[in-house]
Amino acid sequence: MQQLSGKEVAVVGGGPAGLLAAQRLAEAGCRVHLYEAQATVGRKFLVAGHGGFNLSNAEDATLFAGRYAHRAPDFRRFLAHFSPTDLRAWATDLGISTFVGTSGRVFPQAHHKPADLLRAWVARLQALGVVLQVRHRWLGFGPNGALHLRHEATGEQTTVRPAATLLALGGASWAKTGSDGAWLPELERAGVPVRHFAAANCGAEVAWSEFFREKVGRQPLKNVALSCAGATVRGEIMLTDYGLEGTPVYALTPQVRAQLAIGGPALLHLHLKPDLSPAQLLDKLARRKPGKSVASFLGEALRLGPPVPTLLRELGPATFPAAPSEAAALLANLPIPVTSLRPLDEAISTAGGVAWEALNEHLMLHARPGTFVAGEMLDWEAPTGGYLLQGCFSTGAWAARGLLQWLEMS
């Protein structure tokens, strides 16, 4: 047993939540040991970097907190403690300037690569004295706050006893980055209430006909609106040979999941011309001349070129309705039956993990006083758009604050 002395604390998990927590704890004077199972830290953070690297969002605080749905009241607190403005200042302090895109999303300036940010961050942690112990997998708890660890290269097992611990072990998608969710049964065994993982921000599967798959393959539908169970999201979707991808599909994952849970399929409704008012759409459809083919009429009058006619034939009635009102209803409300969500490992994020009833307001486990939890391993979900990373940063900072207060009191 290695007794870590005084203010020696352990952070387990080297994703954005754990790294930020380690930084805050080290800045407050703790001697931090960061244990990471992989050979390097921040692997999923780098994966996020390949897809645009959307760090946060510049939208108003109330709207922002609302992105975390029923956890909004908690996230209001976390975001007030480490806000999107704080995140941008943090990046600037590491030499990485950011900008707000037209959609309100916050990105690093184009000349800063994700690896530049991670490299600067790791250098800062080392300068603060954080001891980065990579290839160290947390296996479970021992008595009196002890942590069992295994060196992934040598297989050697050790036990350490820090003054306090912060777990930031991530969700359960993209297992190759280290976020394999294998910690969940271990916490369950330790008496911590958990929720099983579910895919969030992922594609949806549709049982297309063979004809559709071959003809359409992979094609975008731009500027559409997608609805499910009363929620509507605008944007671009991608038709693929297995179903649908794209921001509106990802954002509706909670609604689709809920419908599938009560016995699928779940129904998405597609509006192909959301910029037109119902009257405008009707007016355009009323101008259709007899004899004009559906495909050329849709292309010319409504700029609905391929693959829309094929999609309408696949999901709509056998013949395009002659009555303008029926045609308008079809274009504004095309039902798409979803048979399932894409596999967990492909998802951008996961719902499930440590249940909120397991935690006090400082994100400390009731079952393990002195052990705090942050990041995606907590049971929350949010859409893409910078809300995921910001949520991890903010919970990391909040849990670090709780840990510091706990150390002062103990």
Ligand X SMILES: Cc1cc2nc3c(=O)[nH]c(=O)nc-3n(C[C@H](O)[C@H](O)[C@H](O)COP(=O)(O)OP(=O)(O)OC[C@H]3O[C@@H](n4cnc5c(N)ncnc54)[C@H](O)[C@@H]3O)c2cc1C
For the bound state, the minimum distance from the C-beta of residue 226 to ligand X, rounded and expressed in Å, comes to: 20
Residues paired with residue 223 on neighbouring β-strands, in sequence order: none
Residue 185 touching ligand X (CB under 6 A): no
Which residue among 32, 106, 168, 244 contacts ligand X (CB under 6 A)? 168
Residue 13 touching ligand X (CB under 6 A): yes
Q: Which helix (H) or strand (E) holds 403?
A: helix 387-409
For the bound state, the minimum distance from the C-beta of residue 55 to ligand X, rounded and expressed in Å, comes to: 7
Measured CA to CA, the distance from residue 209 to residue 316 in angstroms comes to: 13
Residue 386 touching ligand X (CB under 6 A): yes
Which residue among 9, 11, 16, 161 contacts ligand X (CB under 6 A)? 16
**Conformational region of residue 189, where left means phi above 0, alpha means psi within -120 to 50, and beta covers everything else:** alpha
Residue with tokens 């969700």: 171
Which residue among 64, 90, 138, 212 contacts ligand X (CB under 6 A)? 138
Measured CA to CA, the distance from residue 370 to residue 389 in angstroms comes to: 25
Measured CA to CA, the distance from residue 239 to residue 252 in angstroms comes to: 16
Residue 101 touching ligand X (CB under 6 A): no
For the bound state, the minimum distance from the C-beta of residue 318 to ligand X, rounded and expressed in Å, comes to: 39
For the bound state, the minimum distance from the C-beta of residue 223 to ligand X, rounded and expressed in Å, comes to: 22
In total, the chain counts a number of residues equal to 410
Residue 375 touching ligand X (CB under 6 A): yes
Residue 185, helix vs strand vs coil: helix
Measured CA to CA, the distance from residue 170 to residue 174 in angstroms comes to: 10
Q: Which is nearer to ligand X, 12 or 206 (CB)?
A: 12
- The DSSP secondary-structure symbol of 364 reads B
Residue 248 touching ligand X (CB under 6 A): no
For the bound state, the minimum distance from the C-beta of residue 52 to ligand X, rounded and expressed in Å, comes to: 5
Q: Which is nearer to ligand X, 17 or 226 (CB)?
A: 17
Residue 137 touching ligand X (CB under 6 A): yes
Pick from 9, 53, 345, 16: which is nearest to 168 by CA?
Answer: 16
Which residue among 8, 10, 11, 14 contacts ligand X (CB under 6 A)? 14
Residue 187 touching ligand X (CB under 6 A): no
Report the helix count and the strand count for the chain, using DSSP H and E.
15, 21
Q: How many residues bind ligand X (CB under 6 A)?
A: 39
Measured CA to CA, the distance from residue 197 to residue 181 in angstroms comes to: 8
Measured CA to CA, the distance from residue 188 to residue 199 in angstroms comes to: 20
Residue 392 touching ligand X (CB under 6 A): yes
CB neighbour class for 339 (10 Å; exposed up to 12, middle 13-18, buried from 19): middle
Residue 132 touching ligand X (CB under 6 A): no
Residues 17-36 that bind ligand X (CB under 6 A): 17-18, 35-36
Site string for ligand X, 45-84 (x = CB under 6 A): x-xx--xxxx------------------------------
Measured CA to CA, the distance from residue 55 to residue 48 in angstroms comes to: 9
Site string for ligand X, 332-351 (x = CB under 6 A): ----------------xx--
For the bound state, the minimum distance from the C-beta of residue 301 to ligand X, rounded and expressed in Å, comes to: 37
Question: 219: Cβ–Cβ under 8 A, 6 or more apart, which residues?
Answer: 238, 239, 306, 307
Contact segment (CB under 6 A) with ligand X among 89-97, 189-197, 216-224, 381-389 equals 381-389
